């Protein structure tokens, strides 16, 4: 099983024990991945910060921080984990297995960070840096091709402020699904406007961005 995952990751561990620990949730007992997660979090944050600093020389500190936060968070790391089908390889305790822990975003994202920490210990910083660059390349390219590098909520706020209009108000209307697979429905309204837009997403933030994008479309018509 570890060989199959190594092929997906395109990284061969010299010390396979690191990979096993990275995949072991604390519910399993014994040595687990929380310490590796701590290490991987520091490594991925540094590498992504370095990439952004080099690729966007004119960006402000605030912009760099916002882009890094969009790339290194639970949702993005969990999506990365899903690309490698990480849930299939996790070692979980009976309770987590029964409750679908191998699909829970928090567990997947932590395991992904732990794997980055494991690669760092196994092959050193350059090996970890190379894998992070490879795994994150599509996301970095998407960020590079974005015209303004600003998210819809920021664009909506700036649009309204430039016209001295009230700032948008977001409200969570509906939360559906189990705790590890929730869908949020958020409404966005602006005082003085009849239109109310709705957005959906796997997190409140994504739903708000969706609603803000819809509101921007109305305002710019």
DSSP 152-195: HHHHHHHHHHHTTPPPPEEEEEEEES-TTS-EEEEEEE-TT-S-
CA distances from 102 to 90, 116, 144, 154, 169 (A): 7, 18, 32, 34, 35
Q: Please state, in angstroms and rounded to a whole number, the distance separating the CA atoms of residues 103 and 109.
A: 10
Q: Please, are residues 96 and 25 in contact by the beta-carbon 8 Å criterion?
A: yes
Q: What is the pLDDT of residues 82-124, one digit of tens each?
A: 999 999 999 999 998 888 888 899 999 999 999 999 999 999 9
Q: Which of 37, 96, 113, 210 is catalytic?
A: 113
Q: Please, are residues 44 and 112 in contact by the beta-carbon 8 Å criterion?
A: no
2-145 fold: Ribonuclease iii, N-terminal Endonuclease Domain; Chain A (1.10.1520)
Q: Please, are residues 41 and 149 in contact by the beta-carbon 8 Å criterion?
A: no
pLDDT of residue 147: 38
Question: Has 113 been annotated as catalytic?
Answer: yes
Q: Please state, in angstroms and rounded to a whole number, the distance separating the CA atoms of residues 175 and 221.
A: 30
Q: Please, are residues 168 and 215 in contact by the beta-carbon 8 Å criterion?
A: yes
- Region 152-219: CATH code: 3.30.160.20
Domain residue spans in the chain?
2-145, 152-219
Produce one character per residue of 29-49: b if its CB has 16 or more CB atoms within 10 Å, e if not. eeebbeebbebbbebbebbbb
Q: Please, are residues 188 and 160 in contact by the beta-carbon 8 Å criterion?
A: no
Q: Which of 12, 31, 34, 41 is catalytic?
A: 41
The edge-to-edge listing of strands for the beta sheet with 169-176 is: 169-176, 183-189, 196-201
pLDDT of residue 166: 94
Q: Tell which residue, 162, 212, 154, has the closest CA to residue 187.
A: 212
pLDDT of residue 146: 56
Which residues are 174's β-sheet partners? 185
pLDDT of residue 20: 96
Residues of the chain where predicted confidence (pLDDT) is lower than 50: 147
Q: Please state, in angstroms and rounded to a whole number, the distance separating the CA atoms of residues 35 and 132.
A: 19
Q: pTM for the whole thing?
A: 0.67
Farthest CA pair distance, the chain: 63
């Amino acid at each position: 099983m570890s060989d199959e995952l190594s092929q997906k990751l395109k990284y061969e561990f010299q010390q396979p024990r690191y990979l096993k620990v990275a995949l072991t949730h604390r519910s399993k007992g014994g040595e687990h991945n929380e310490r590796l997660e701590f290490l991987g979090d520091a490594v991925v944050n540094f590498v992504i910060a370095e990439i952004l600093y080099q690729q966007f020389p004119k960006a402000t500190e605030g912009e760099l921080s916002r882009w890094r936060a969009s790339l290194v968070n639970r949702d993005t790391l969990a999506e990365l984990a899903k690309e490698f089908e990480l849930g299939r390889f996790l070692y979980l305790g009976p309770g987590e297995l029964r409750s679908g822990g191998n699909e829970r975003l928090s567990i997947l994202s932590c395991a992904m960070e732990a794997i980055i920490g494991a690669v760092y210990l196994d092959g050193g910083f350059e090996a970890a840096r190379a894998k992070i660059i490879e795994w994150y390349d599509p996301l970095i390219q998407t960020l590079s091709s974005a015209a303004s590098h600003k998210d819809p909520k920021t664009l909506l706020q700036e649009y309204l402020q430039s016209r001295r209009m009230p700032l948008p108000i977001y409200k969570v209307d509906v939360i559906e699904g189990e705790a590890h697979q929730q869908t949020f429905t958020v409404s966005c309204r602006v005082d003085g406007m009849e239109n109310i837009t709705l957005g959906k997403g796997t997190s409140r933030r994504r739903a708000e961005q969706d609603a803000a994008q819809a509101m921007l479309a109305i305002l710019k018509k």
